[in-house]
């Protein structure tokens, strides 16, 4: 049986413990006779086991365990009730509050879009709009800026799908954003009255 270095490294612990079948042990002994690296690994691991297994190496003084336990208890108790921990937690809370204040103040003073076309739409058209798959905008049917095969959807559905209004054919809806009153019912009533005349 021929084995490689990786096989020896995998079984070295069993070899040193004497937990191998005789055939594998013979194959490992033969490998050790030919491979200096594996002999070094075997001898190094054997030395480590001997050092850690020796009682002479780690003799502890009398009363060591009670003193160690007492010292650890004192250190742990000291950390629980320290004012330093309280200061750190108060500083962290103050930092979080300051970040929250800065974030909310920053949103209040954010620059508003100047162009009327950049304002958000306040009145969505009531008729169906056309969207082109792969496009970014929705249009009125027949818009000259719409190219390709389109499908008809409601404006709400187009917005939900991520489309935005075309600035050319949806000009009236976009223009109303700058002039619209918060009460949209009055605006619609006024436009209906104008249409009836």
Per-residue confidence band for 120, with pLDDT thresholds at 50, 70 and 90: low
d(CA 182, CA 151): 32
pLDDT at 134: 83
Six-digit token string for 5: 């270095």
> For residues 182 and 166, what is the distance between their CA atoms, to the nearest angstrom?
23
The residue-averaged pLDDT of 110-119 equals 56
The domain locations on the chain are: 5-53, 117-196
User: Tokens in use for 86?
Assistant: 């309280």
This prediction has a pTM of 0.31
- Which residues, other chains included, contact 42 with Cβ-Cβ below 8 Å and sequence gap of 6+? 8, 12, 15, 16, 32
- DSSP 3-state helix, strand, coil percentages of the chain (rounded to 5)? 60, 5, 35
Task: Give residue 57's pLDDT.
Answer: 66
């Amino acid at each position: 049986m021929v084995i490689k270095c990786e096989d020896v490294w995998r079984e070295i612990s069993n070899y040193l413990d004497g937990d191998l079948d005789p055939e594998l042990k013979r194959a490992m002994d033969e490998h050790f006779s030919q491979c200096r690296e594996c002999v070094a690994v075997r001898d190094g691991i054997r030395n480590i086991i001997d050092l850690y297994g020796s009682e002479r190496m780690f003799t502890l003084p009398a009363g060591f365990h009670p003193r160690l336990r007492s010292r650890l208890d004192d250190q742990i108790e000291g950390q629980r009730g320290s004012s330093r921990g309280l200061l750190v937690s108060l500083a962290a809370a103050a930092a979080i509050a300051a970040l929250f204040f800065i974030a909310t103040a920053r949103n209040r003073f954010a620059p508003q879009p100047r162009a009327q076309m950049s304002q958000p739409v306040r009145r969505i058209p009531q008729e169906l709009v056309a969207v082109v798959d792969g496009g970014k905008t929705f249009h009125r049917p027949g818009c000259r800026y719409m190219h390709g095969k389109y499908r008809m959807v409601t404006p709400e559905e187009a917005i939900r799908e991520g489309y935005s209004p075309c600035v050319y054919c949806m000009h009236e809806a976009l223009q109303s954003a700058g002039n619209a009153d918060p009460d949209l019912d009055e605006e619609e009533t006024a436009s209906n009255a104008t249409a009836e005349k």
